[in-house]
Amino acid sequence: MSWSKLKQHLEGFLSPSLNGRVEYRAPGYRYLPDKSGICYFSVDKKNILNMSDKTSSIRWYQTELEVKNDPGIQIPISSDDIEAVRKGTKGPVPEDRLIVMARSRKSSEHAKELLSAQASLVKSNFIVVANKFLTTPVEESLESNDILLNILALVDRRVGKKRILNMSEKMMLKHPAVRYFYELRRGGV
């Protein structure tokens, strides 16, 4: 599918509140047919997310420790997580220490997932991901670990306001780029 046709399809799925505000751009795409689809998102005519440039206003993580120390990411700990740590330790451990250990373990796992998703975003071909988005159900895109699929689903008109409002807890675990577009859709940006 040509870039102009793909862009037209994607912009046709934009939420009415974001129509005209969110734009997909691909500078110089048609002159380099063998190059992967470099693309970026702009909101209100400002470049917000460029897949190959980490100097945008959205925070990009360099290390696992940065993810673990980000106050914007709140990882919920369940009793199952605490129980798994309790079984892994030998001997009695105070309850508050078990909670700290469970949170640390879960935040390490989450940090690895976020860094992996961020790395795949830089290497991704936007055209391929956008075509995948257009052929898969929007629910799958929302649940995916792919940052681009999450963003495309969040700005999609098929995702209603009620569903957006119910996703706030889930969004705390997502990459800052996804959280930015979530807040944009909620009306907070």
* Measured CA distances, 110 to 93, 118, 127 (Å): 24, 12, 27
Q: What is the predicted pLDDT for the residue at 172? A: 85
Cα angle, residue 49 at apex, residues 44 and 53 outer, rounded to 5°? 130
Average pLDDT in the 73-94 region?
Answer: 86
Taking each helix axis as running N to C, give the angle between helix 126-135 and helix 147-154, from 0 to 180 degrees, rounded to the nearest 10. 50
For the stretch 96-151, pLDDT in tens is 888 888 988 888 888 888 777 777 665 567 778 888 999 999 999 999 888 889 99
Q: What is the predicted pLDDT for the residue at 133? A: 93
Cβ-based burial of 34 (10 A; exposed 0-12, middle 13-18, buried ≥19): exposed
Q: Using the structure block, give the residue that is written with the tokens 């030998």.
A: 90
For the stretch 151-162, pLDDT in tens is 999 999 999 989
Confidence of residue 41 (pLDDT cuts 50, 70, 90): confident
Q: What is the predicted pLDDT for the residue at 155? A: 93
Residue 28 has pLDDT above 60, yes or no: no
Distance CA 189, CA 177 (A): 13
**How much is the pTM?**
0.71
Residue 2's CB is within 10 A of a number of other CB atoms, namely 10
For the stretch 46-79, pLDDT in tens is 888 776 555 556 666 778 888 888 887 888 888 8
Do residues 126 and 40 make contact, with C-beta atoms less than 8 angstroms apart? no
Q: Domain extents for the chain?
A: 3-60+125-184, 64-116
Do residues 24 and 133 make contact, with C-beta atoms less than 8 angstroms apart? no
Q: What is the predicted pLDDT for the residue at 14? A: 92
Q: What is the predicted pLDDT for the residue at 57? A: 60
